[in-house]
Structure 1
Amino acid sequence: MLPQLHALDPRLPSPLQEVRDERFDGRGLRLLLKRDDLIHPELSGNKWRKLAPNLRTALTERRSALLTFGGAYSNHLRATAAAGRLLGLPTIGVVRGQELADRPLNPVLARCREHGMRLHFVTRAEYRDRATPELTARLRGLFGRDVLVVPEGGSNAAAVHGCTALGAELRGQADLAAVACGTGGTLAGMAATGPPSLGFPVLRGDFLTSEVSGLQQAAFGAPRGDWRLVEGFHCGGYARTTPELLAYAEDFEQRHGIALERVYVAKMLLGLTALAEAGRFAPGTALAAVVTGAPPPEPPAPPEPPSR
């Protein structure tokens, strides 16, 4: 690890916590929570694992800034901004939705700006072209040719290599690992070195299989590991929820005293619980569910009205 990265002070390996839950216990299953949310207070979960290799590149190559992409509630943007502040590395966040530029910032984007991230809003049509050379060239024209451009969610070959450590930490500790998937980088790296793995997509569509395969090809030159995707638990799509999901998350929090992030983690656990209750796992199986992040910050309390 570069000396500068010690400023991030990660807690590795992350704890593996067994929880007793009759929905698993009653079927002879063990539920283990891989508490990646405890790696770092501001770069929790897979954000540390995916960002660390890219941060190392930015520092060793003396890049002027790290530029990356995300939606209005992107945990990736928030983590990147926090890392930039801690390391003294300028960061730029390209945010989907130009109409948001004229609105008050939500708590996630407000935290990004507090950390010093420069926010650049683009139209949704432009954002769809985020991986094209044309948009990359235009952004480098705006912010400097030597900025390091990192994809949405931080998922690139470097990030996949960073997530292989997660798989290695789970190898021999669990029979099966489960993780929520947005861009697929965590699954691609974890499955390469860890136990058989299940990915629970949080977006609609069937594009993720090719994305994970492509990331493994870029990182390793060929597919690796035993993994598959489990569809049907996106609850309407990215950042969407259903009454069932909210009830499940609240019940889980009350049972186990662990706050659940709703966009990714709660959906993965909802899916894993449904599979367990349907008898999809053999008795005796140890299931490791990766808690990839913590809930976003609460919005600040409104100021007290002035006394008269």
Structure 2
Amino acid sequence: MKIKTQKIVLNNPEIELYIRREDLIHPLISGNKFRKLKYNLIQAKTEKQTTLLTFGGAFSNHILAVASAGFENNFKTIGIIRGEELVHKIDENPTLKKAEQLGMQFKFVSREAYRNKSQKEFVENVEKEFGAFYLIPEGGTNNLAIKGCEEILTNADKMFTHICCSIGTGGTISGIINSSFEGQQIVGFPSLKGDFISNEISNFAKKSNWNLISDYHFGGYGKITDDLIRFINVFHANHNVPLDPIYTGKMMFGIVALIQKEYFPKGSKILAIHTGGLQGIEGMNALLEKQKKETLLK
């Protein structure tokens, strides 16, 4: 599989910036979702499971990716969705609507119940309701997902001094850390507030050549600002690269800001990983239209 790596033209001639277009892998199972699901699907088939079950929120990239992967690989799929109120809003939600069209069955639970999704009793009750299934955690991060994400970097990437990655559950950056080359620094941009993600990454990462930049979450997961929207649209217009507002948009905003602040040493060659997630733009634009704000380019 050949993935496009695109150079981004900067005003700073002493820094080189490239973006790895993992979003082009697949229209629905794109970027890190493809990587995370690859070996989980193989394992599910090895175990002779016929159903995939996973968890997610209203506009989850992961939910739609699992639904699409199940559809293409002849698995039944079940999504445990956070928010009971969404049961009557499927048609208003492009992510859930598409997942349903791909055959995913939903179980909507309260936010309180959702917090217990990893508990043994919760999983046992779901199994009683739906029968046997292969469980994929929220966001898809497990050891097999890390194995898939370790394949993002190739030998051709030894030239880069810094690898940048947006962070949700920490799986993608962990795989990148494990497969990084000597002398490379891995820089992560969390989309959530809080320092808890460092512990999650430490559970999977086998090297210490990484650090997190927590200044560009724009208020937390799913939160955006007018400045972020404007940046994403200008970036799209200038480079013909769409960015999602939850992950890659915030990462690229942060990278450009850090270059301007001279965070990266002169002569740095930076590779930013585009982890996909573009399906979420439609849902975000619906919210922005209601607020009578500028919408995102697709």
Structure 1 residue runs of 4 or more that deviate by more than 2 Å after TM superposition: 102-105, 167-171
Task: State yes or no: 1:109 paired with 2:109.
Answer: no
Equivalent residue for 2:267?
Answer: 284
Q: How does 1:10-25 map to 2 (within 5 A)?
A: 12-22=1-11
Task: State yes or no: 1:207 paired with 2:196.
Answer: yes
- DSSP-derived class of the 1:165 partner: coil
Equivalent residue for 2:27?
Answer: 41
Task: State yes or no: 1:187 paired with 2:170.
Answer: no
Do the aligned partners of 2:216 and 2:250 also contact (CA within 8 Å) in 1? yes
Partners of 2:28 and 2:120 lie apart in 1 by 31
Partners of 1:142 and 1:215 lie apart in 2 by 32
TM-score (norm 2): 0.90
Partners of 1:21 and 1:171 lie apart in 2 by 20
Q: CA deviation at 1:109?
A: 0.6
Task: State yes or no: 1:174 paired with 2:157.
Answer: no
- Answer with 150-159 or 57-66: which moved more: 57-66
Q: CA deviation at 1:175?
A: 1.1
Equivalent residue for 1:95?
Answer: 81
Identity of aligned residues (%): 36
Choose the corresponding residue for 1:132, options 119, 133, 141. 119
What residue ranges of structure 2 are gaps of 5+ in the alignment? 287-298
Q: CA deviation at 1:27?
A: 5.0
Do the aligned partners of 1:31 and 1:288 also contact (CA within 8 Å) in 2? yes
Equivalent residue for 1:7?
Answer: none
- DSSP-derived class of the 1:238 partner: coil
Choose the corresponding residue for 1:269, options 243, 252, 261. 252
Task: State yes or no: 1:118 paired with 2:105.
Answer: yes
Do the aligned partners of 1:249 and 1:262 also contact (CA within 8 Å) in 2? yes
Do the aligned partners of 1:171 and 1:193 also contact (CA within 8 Å) in 2? no
Equivalent residue for 1:244?
Answer: 227
Question: Which amino acid in 1 is paired with 2:270?
Answer: L
Do the aligned partners of 2:22 and 2:31 also contact (CA within 8 Å) in 1? yes
Q: CA deviation at 1:243?
A: 1.0
Question: Which amino acid in 2 is paired with 1:46?
Answer: N
Deviations 1:235-257 (A, max 9, x none): 11111101111111111011111
Do the aligned partners of 1:27 and 1:283 also contact (CA within 8 Å) in 2? no
- DSSP-derived class of the 1:179 partner: strand
Do the aligned partners of 1:96 and 1:124 also contact (CA within 8 Å) in 2? yes
What residue ranges of structure 1 are gaps of 5+ in the alignment? 1-11, 217-222, 302-308
Partners of 1:112 and 1:133 lie apart in 2 by 26
Deviations 1:80-118 (A, max 9, x none): 101111111111111110111122430011010011111
Do the aligned partners of 2:185 and 2:209 also contact (CA within 8 Å) in 1? yes
Question: Which amino acid in 2 is paired with 1:124?
Answer: R
Question: Which amino acid in 2 is paired with 1:259?
Answer: P
Equivalent residue for 1:141?
Answer: 128
Equivalent residue for 1:304?
Answer: none
- DSSP-derived class of the 1:83 partner: helix
**Cα 1:102/1:170, change in 2 over 3 Å:** farther
Q: CA deviation at 1:162?
A: 0.9
Equivalent residue for 1:254?
Answer: 237
Equivalent residue for 2:70?
Answer: 84
Q: How does 1:46-61 map to 2 (within 5 A)?
A: 46-61=32-47
- DSSP-derived class of the 2:151 partner: helix
Partners of 2:243 and 2:49 lie apart in 1 by 35
Question: Which amino acid in 2 is paired with 1:205?
Answer: G
Partners of 2:218 and 2:274 lie apart in 1 by 18
Do the aligned partners of 2:61 and 2:277 also contact (CA within 8 Å) in 1? no
Partners of 1:77 and 1:201 lie apart in 2 by 20
- DSSP-derived class of the 1:263 partner: coil
Question: Which amino acid in 2 is paired with 1:70?
Answer: G
Equivalent residue for 2:296?
Answer: none
Q: CA deviation at 1:64?
A: 2.5
TM-score (norm 1): 0.87
Question: Which amino acid in 1 is paired with 2:214?
Answer: E
Q: CA deviation at 1:258?
A: 1.4
**Cα 1:236/1:88, change in 2 over 3 Å:** same
Equivalent residue for 1:157?
Answer: 143
- Answer with 230-239 or 166-175: which moved more: 166-175
Q: CA deviation at 1:13?
A: 3.7
